[in-house]
């Protein structure tokens, strides 16, 4: 395995930093560094668990894990810089989740290896990260995939291509208790630099579609808000979608068309109907967005983002006043200000919005939206928003070996 992403400054700096932190903590050089990016979903909100079509993009914020074999057999020592905390896993026993939530993402992945009969040697690993967690950039999937990468590297056992994201998804389901779809682990694993990843969650087929980097940029604005209800509401939305499929005798909402839905109006309560409408239309919007991007029709592509946001707000009902506010500030800047479109991303009820912007004006777009929002937000005692221009980066399927 060899790295192909070494020319990105952010990766280089983070890579050097994790090596020196590992050295300081364990008094030795690491053998490997495993790197996994964060991701944002450009469009295709809340359709991944409905076997739908999504368009994530890996962004240049990363989890870095340095690691190496240790002399102590069956002992895995893990340290997270962000949590400023360490824990130890006994590799000779079955692994289970604990009350210390962050450790469960790592434990879940270790469990995935052990339960597949893979023998892991004793090792020390140190986790560092430039991904803000809980902001919709999927720091959890990034942590899982980077963990799987370091376990592969140190043990010398390489999982089959699609098995790694599946193992990581299972870790998130069973150890972190989050019933996520496959999108996050797939995009973090397989993204290509400079590309969006068109993923059909039904058959897991992937198409890499170029993001026109010369003319466009993607801004990510974090509201730093996370409403308490987010997890419960996510589960309710999933259940609602599943129960509509069941009522209509479908395997998933992916098999639903608009005309079928209209004919079934009488069988569904209002909220269920709206949820299903969102899913059907969102799948169409994702495909339209890709077509507009391929045709360089940026304004129409941006319009798909606005429509997606409106549908998530009114039909799927997972937005919140902070995300709506950020999207409105983006819209106010408009094409003259360099904004082509905007929408909330991630599960909703807080987290981030993305803004499709003209490359030349993207930095201004970020500062203007953040400034406008913070001026209003300050009077309402909300957290201050912050943002950055994200670069479409490579996935984590490469683990870099350190000589030595
Ligand atoms: P998101 O995936 O959107 O960032 P989640 O709530 O799904 O938000 O995952 C965030 C959680 O993942 C954190 O609360 C923490 O438990 C874990 N996590 C992510 N990055 C790290 C890290 N560098 N060190 C320790 N735990 C982390
Ligand atoms: Mg997550």
Q: What is the CATH number of the domain that holds 384?
A: 3.30.70.890
User: Residue 246: which region, alpha, beta or left (left: phi > 0; alpha: psi -120 to 50)?
Assistant: alpha
Q: How many CA atoms lie within 13 A of 175 on its CB side?
A: 27
273 shares a domain with 127 = no
Could you give the CA distance from residue 102 to residue 97 in angstroms, rounded to a whole number? 10
Give mean pLDDT, residues 289-305.
98
Establish whether residue 176 lines the binding site of ligand 1, counting it when its CB lies within 6 angstroms of any ligand atom. no
Residue 354 lies in a domain: yes
188 shares a domain with 238 = no
Give the pLDDT score at 134. Answer: 81
Give the pLDDT score at 178. Answer: 85
* pLDDT at residue 99 tops 90: yes
227 shares a domain with 86 = no
Nearest bound ligand to the CA of residue 126: 1
Residue 74 lies in a domain: yes
The protein residue whose alpha carbon is closest to atom 20 in ligand 1 is 139
H or E segment and range at residue 165: helix 163-174
Of 140, 142, 181, 183, the residue with max ligand 1 atoms within 8 A of its CB, to mutate for a pocket test, comes to: 140
Task: Please state the atom number of ligand 1 nearest to the C-alpha of residue 178.
Answer: 7
* pLDDT at residue 86 tops 80: yes
Residue 125 lies in a domain: yes
pLDDT band at residue 404 using 50, 70 and 90 as cut-offs:
low
Terminal CA-to-CA distance of the chain, rounded, Å? 15
Give mean pLDDT, residues 30-38.
95
Establish whether residue 38 lines the binding site of ligand 1, counting it when its CB lies within 6 angstroms of any ligand atom. no
pLDDT band at residue 401 using 50, 70 and 90 as cut-offs:
low
Task: Please state the atom number of ligand 1 nearest to the C-alpha of residue 139.
Answer: 4
Output b/e per residue, 363-379; b: 16+ Cβ within 10 A: bebbebbbebbeeebee
Establish whether residue 101 lines the binding site of ligand 1, counting it when its CB lies within 6 angstroms of any ligand atom. yes
Residue 83 lies in a domain: yes
Could you give the CA distance from residue 165 to residue 340 in angstroms, rounded to a whole number? 33
228 shares a domain with 196 = no
Number of domains within the chain: 2
* pLDDT at residue 201 tops 90: yes
Tell me if residue 184 is catalytic. yes
Residue 338 lies in a domain: yes
Look up residue 384 and give its DSSP letter: P
Number of Cβ within a 10 Å radius of residue 93:
9
Phi and psi dihedrals of 296, rounded to 5? 60, 30
**Residue 66 buriedness (CB in 10 A; 0-12 / 13-18 / 19+):** buried
The protein residue whose alpha carbon is closest to atom 11 in ligand 1 is 140
Residue 393's nearest CA partner among 3, 2, 8, 1 is 8
Could you give the CA distance from residue 278 to residue 311 in angstroms, rounded to a whole number? 6
Give mean pLDDT, residues 274-296.
98
Could you give the CA distance from residue 404 to residue 12 in angstroms, rounded to a whole number? 19
The protein residue whose alpha carbon is closest to atom 17 in ligand 1 is 102
Question: Pick the residue with more confidence: 314 or 347?
Answer: 314
The two three-digit tokens of residue 369, written as one number: 């939206």
Domain that holds residue 339: 216-390
> Residue 15 belongs to a domain with what CATH number?
3.30.230.10
Residue 77's nearest CA partner among 123, 110, 20 is 123
Q: For tokens 């803004």, what's the residue?
A: 355
* pLDDT at residue 1 tops 70: no
pLDDT band at residue 400 using 50, 70 and 90 as cut-offs:
low
H or E segment and range at residue 389: strand 386-390
Give the pLDDT score at 295. Answer: 97
Number of Cβ within a 10 Å radius of residue 277:
19
User: Residue 349: which region, alpha, beta or left (left: phi > 0; alpha: psi -120 to 50)?
Assistant: left
60 shares a domain with 156 = yes
* pLDDT at residue 27 tops 50: yes
193 shares a domain with 262 = no
Residue 189's nearest CA partner among 216, 230, 234, 152 is 152
DSSP 183-241: HHHHHHHH--TTEEEEEETTTTEEEEEE--TTTEEEEEEEEEEE-TTHHHHHHHHHHHH
Give the pLDDT score at 7. Answer: 44
Residue 33 lies in a domain: yes
- Kindly give the pairing relationship between strand 75-80 and strand 123-129: parallel
The protein residue whose alpha carbon is closest to atom 7 in ligand 1 is 140
Please enumerate in sequence order all residues whose Cβ is within 8 A of that of 169, keeping only pairs 6 or more positions apart, or say none: 180, 181, 182, 184, 185
Establish whether residue 231 lines the binding site of ligand 1, counting it when its CB lies within 6 angstroms of any ligand atom. no
Give the pLDDT score at 364. Answer: 98
* pLDDT at residue 296 tops 60: yes
Number of Cβ within a 10 Å radius of residue 200:
17
234 shares a domain with 205 = no
380 shares a domain with 240 = yes
What is the 336 CA–ligand 1 centroid distance (Å)? 37
pLDDT band at residue 149 using 50, 70 and 90 as cut-offs:
very high
140 shares a domain with 38 = yes
Give the pLDDT score at 8. Answer: 56
Q: For tokens 């932190």, what's the residue?
A: 21
pLDDT band at residue 228 using 50, 70 and 90 as cut-offs:
confident
Establish whether residue 267 lines the binding site of ligand 1, counting it when its CB lies within 6 angstroms of any ligand atom. no
Q: For tokens 């995939």, what's the residue?
A: 145
191 shares a domain with 50 = yes
Residue 251 lies in a domain: yes
Establish whether residue 129 lines the binding site of ligand 1, counting it when its CB lies within 6 angstroms of any ligand atom. yes
Give the pLDDT score at 14. Answer: 86
196 shares a domain with 83 = yes
What is the 138 CA–ligand 1 centroid distance (Å)? 7
Instruction: Check 31, 60, 184, 372 and give the catalytic one.
Output: 184
223 shares a domain with 199 = no
pLDDT tens digits for range 208-227:
999 998 999 999 999 999 87
* pLDDT at residue 11 tops 60: yes
The protein residue whose alpha carbon is closest to atom 15 in ligand 1 is 102
Residue 222 lies in a domain: yes
Could you give the CA distance from residue 98 to residue 116 in angstroms, rounded to a whole number? 21
Of 139, 150, 171, 345, the residue with max ligand 1 atoms within 8 A of its CB, to mutate for a pocket test, comes to: 139
What is the 133 CA–ligand 1 centroid distance (Å)? 5
Task: Please state the atom number of ligand 1 nearest to the C-alpha of residue 172.
Answer: 7
Q: In degrees, to the nearest 5, what angle opens at C-alpha 180 toward C-alphas 220 and 204?
A: 90
Give the pLDDT score at 402. Answer: 60
């Amino acid at each position: 395995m060899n790295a192909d992403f070494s020319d990105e400054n952010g990766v280089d700096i983070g890579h050097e930093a994790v090596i020196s932190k590992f050295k300081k903590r364990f008094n030795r050089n690491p053998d490997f560094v495993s790197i996994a990016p964060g991701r944002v979903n450009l469009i295709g909100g809340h359709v991944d668990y409905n076997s739908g079509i999504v368009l994530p993009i890996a962004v240049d914020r990363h989890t870095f894990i340095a690691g190496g074999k240790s002399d102590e057999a069956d002992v895995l020592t893990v340290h997270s810089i962000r949590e400023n905390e360490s824990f130890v896993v006994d590799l000779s026993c079955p692994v289970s989740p604990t009350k210390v939530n962050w450790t469960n993402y790592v434990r879940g992945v270790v469990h995935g290896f052990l339960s597949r009969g893979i023998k892991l040697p004793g090792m020390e690993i140190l986790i560092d990260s430039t991904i803000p967690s809980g902001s919709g950039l999927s720091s959890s999937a990034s942590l899982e995939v980077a963990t799987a990468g370091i376990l592969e590297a140190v043990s010398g056992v390489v999982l089959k291509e699609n098995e790694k994201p599946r193992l990581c998804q299972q870790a998130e389901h069973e150890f972190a208790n989050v019933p996520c779809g496959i999108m996050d682990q797939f995009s973090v694993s397989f993204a290509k630099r400079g590309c969006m990843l068109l993923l059909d969650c039904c058959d897991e087929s992937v198409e890499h579609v170029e993001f026109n980097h010369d003319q466009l940029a993607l801004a990510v604005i974090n509201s730093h808000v996370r409403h308490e209800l987010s997890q419960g509401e996510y589960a309710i939305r999933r259940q609602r979608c599943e129960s509509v499929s069941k009522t209509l005798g479908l395997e998933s909402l992916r098999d639903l068309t608009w005309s079928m839905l209209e004919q079934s109006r009488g069988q569904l309560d209002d909220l269920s109907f709206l949820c299903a409408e969102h899913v059907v239309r969102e799948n169409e919007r994702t495909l339209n967005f890709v077509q507009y991007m391929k045709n360089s029709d940026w304004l129409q592509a941006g319009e798909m983002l606005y429509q997606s946001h409106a549908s998530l707000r009114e039909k799927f009902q997972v937005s919140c006043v902070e995300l709506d506010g950020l999207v409105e500030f983006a819209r106010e800047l408009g094409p003259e200000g360099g904004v082509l479109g905007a929408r909330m991303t991630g599960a909703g009820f807080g987290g981030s919005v993305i803004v499709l912007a003209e490359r030349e004006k993207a930095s201004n777009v970020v500062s203007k939206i953040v400034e406008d929002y913070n001026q209003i937000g300050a009077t309402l005692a909300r957290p201050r928003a912050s943002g950055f221009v994200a670069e479409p980066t490579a996935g984590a399927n490469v683990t870099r070996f350190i000589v030595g």
